[in-house]
Amino acid sequence: MRLRTLLTTVAAGAALVVPTLAAVPAVSAAPAGCTASDAEIYAAQGAITAGPGELLACRPTALPGIPHNIKMKAWKVRYASTDAKGARIAVSGFVAVPEAAWTKGGSRPVVSFNPGTLGSGLQCALSKQMSGKYVDAYEGPNLAEFLKSGYAVAATDGVGYLDGQVHTYMVGANAGHALLDVVRTSRQIPGGDLRPDGKVGIAGYSEGGAASLWGAQLAASYAPELNVVGAAAGGVPGDLKITAKQLNGSLFAGFLADALVGLNAAYPEMPFNELMNDAGKKAIQDVKSNCLYGTLAVFLGQKVENYSKDKLTLEQIYALRGPNGVTWGEILDRQKLGVDIGTPSSAAKYKIGFPVFQYRGFFEEIIPHETEDATRAAYCKAGITTKWNQSYPAEHLSTDWLAAGDVSAFLGERFEGKPAKGNC
């Protein structure tokens, strides 16, 4: 899909309208059966005392959003995780396991998956769209690649799709924790057969690509018991400031709107709502009610300066301080990927002991090449085995589909224990 096709789809959509925590899950009994209602899966947050990754509720589900009629067992799940401030939270997602027996030795591996941007409306959650409440999701073919290969899929919706919440779009620790915890959850489903010794691969594109690398960076400290063997991440907005500069006033300013509202959801103590003019107040509600194409249509060509009383620029917003003296700019810098990473023998904060696959389309038009290339360079400099491909003949969205086979093959080789070769 080239730019013209994407914009046509956007127009159609409009018409339709970090702390690092070494946490091991607490041992407790999972639900006796997967008998929760849909309402219970997505119920409001409430007080969460369960350990990270603990299964809170589940229900069997069909996944018609995944093509090719793959025979599988699937469950929606509600599980415990940890937010960027260390608080215990609930998150939704789903687990899918092929019915065909795993015959390649050892336990069936699991792909932990975070979708690309779907939008911040509660109806946009991946688990809702794949189970039949389709809005404008596009990840079904990628999930099918994993399932056709015999791998289980543990997919997180991401933080903020429960009743009364807002998706914390592009908050790294939230995304990484949720990705790792959904794997823990997948092994607790009553009647399920996923085992604790199964190998784990992490995958995602765009928003999901950033989440994938955050999962990779946090795995050793947050979920050391998981046998993560590889991570695949494409279209990665590794530096949010660089990305925001390109998005502001562009055809894709809706992604920036999602990020601003999502960051505010994660850091409500920071100045935000009180800065808004009437257009800004309406913009916040537009973000909270729309999915991907609706949001892109609403904010087509818009600039952040249009929405605050004082016409604040991005740089002026970054300089604003919260009650604890932290600036918005410092919060954005916390989300930057490839900072303080290293091999297991290093003194780095984030130790990565497995290979990664990073990629982007040759005609990428949404995420600046500068930041995608810089994230790859940071991983190479840190000595992490990194496979890189920037030659897919496609723009942003269609690269997600075009690379799906390579992503599945990369993870498949890791599951088979084959040595990885980087191309730094």
Count other C-beta atoms under 10 Å from residue 400's C-beta. 27
Which candidate, 184, 176, 217, 256, places its Cα nearest to that of 384?
217
Domain that holds residue 403: 3-239+335-415
Which pLDDT does position 376 carry in this prediction? 98
- The encoded tokens of residue 403 equal 């690379």
Q: For the chain, what's the residue count?
A: 424
Helix, strand, coil percent content, the chain, rounded in steps of 5: 35, 20, 45
Tell me the CATH number at 188.
Answer: 3.40.50.1820
pLDDT beneath 70: ranges in the chain: 1-32
Q: Using CA atoms in the order 72, 76, 82, 84, what is the torsion angle rounded to 10 degrees?
A: 90
Residue 135 lies in a domain: yes
Which pLDDT does position 71 carry in this prediction? 97
Residue 371 lies in a domain: yes
Which candidate, 157, 248, 247, places its Cα nearest to that of 204?
157
In total, how many domains does the chain have? 1
With tokens 């919060």, the residue in question is: 331
Residue 261 lies in a domain: no
pTM: 0.92
Which pLDDT does position 5 carry in this prediction? 40
CA pair distance 363, 270, nearest whole angstrom: 36
CA pair distance 43, 56, nearest whole angstrom: 11
Degrees, nearest 5: CA angle 130-135-137: 55
Residue 188 lies in a domain: yes
Which pLDDT does position 32 carry in this prediction? 66
Residue 21 lies in a domain: yes
Sheet holding 110-114, edge to edge: 55-60, 72-82, 88-98, 152-156, 110-114, 199-205, 227-234, 356-361, 386-392
Which pLDDT does position 53 carry in this prediction? 98
The H or E element spanning position 77 is: strand 72-82
Which pLDDT does position 31 carry in this prediction? 63
Residue 244 lies in a domain: no
Residue 62 lies in a domain: yes
Q: Are 235 and 367 in contact (CB under 8 A)?
A: yes
The H or E element spanning position 178 is: helix 172-186
Which pLDDT does position 370 carry in this prediction? 97
- The encoded tokens of residue 60 equal 């069997």
- The encoded tokens of residue 258 equal 């999602």
Quote the longest CA-to-CA distance of the chain: 63
Residue 265 lies in a domain: no
- The encoded tokens of residue 287 equal 């973000």
